[in-house]
């Protein structure tokens, strides 16, 4: 199982757009959930935080295998995700990469 947590900086002038995208995802839960299986994702959670005055979105996933390239997906939700990413995520800012140290289950 692959467990990942990574954070990505949002362009300062795109924070409102990022929050609108998060709201869109909440209201389209069924369609979003349908994208997870083909991407080998069992769990996906998105967190937000501000670090040094910069807004980040952080993706937590539990996966059974590597995900296919989302830019090649024909799914409308995935296509919107790619468009959002290109518009709002600042790839010039180093991503936050978290290393899993321990896992505990009941």
pLDDT 10s per residue in the chain (106 long)? 899 999 999 999 999 999 999 999 999 999 999 999 999 999 999 999 999 999 999 999 999 998 899 999 999 999 999 999 999 999 999 999 999 999 999 9
pLDDT at 50: 96
The correct CATH number of 2-95 out of 2.40.128, 3.30.70, 1.10.1760, 1.20.120 is 3.30.70
Interatomic CA distance for residues 99 and 7, integer angstroms? 12
Instruction: Decide: 5 and 45 in contact? Cβ < 8 Å.
Output: no
List of long-range contacts for 85-94, beta carbons under 8 Å, 24+ apart: 87/14, 87/17, 88/10, 88/11, 88/14, 88/17, 88/18, 88/21, 89/8, 89/9, 89/10, 89/11, 89/57, 90/8, 90/9, 90/10, 90/11, 93/8, 93/9, 93/54
pLDDT at 14: 98
pLDDT at 23: 97
The order of strands in the sheet holding 54-63 is 41-51, 54-63, 2-9, 96-97
pLDDT at 102: 95
pLDDT at 100: 96
Interatomic CA distance for residues 15 and 3, integer angstroms? 26
Domain boundaries defined on the chain: 2-95
């Amino acid at each position: 199982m692959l467990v990942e947590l990574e954070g990505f900086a949002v362009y300062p002038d795109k924070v409102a757009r990022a929050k609108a995208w998060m709201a869109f995802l909440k209201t389209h839960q069924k369609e979003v959930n349908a994208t997870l299986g083909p991407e080998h994702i069992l769990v996906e959670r998105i967190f937000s935080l501000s670090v040094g005055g910069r807004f980040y979105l952080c993706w937590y996933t539990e996966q059974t295998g590597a995900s296919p390239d989302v830019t090649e997906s024909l799914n409308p939700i995935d296509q919107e995700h790619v468009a959002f990413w290109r518009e709002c995520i600042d790839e010039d800012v180093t991503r936050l990469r978290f290393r899993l140290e321990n896992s505990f289950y009941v």
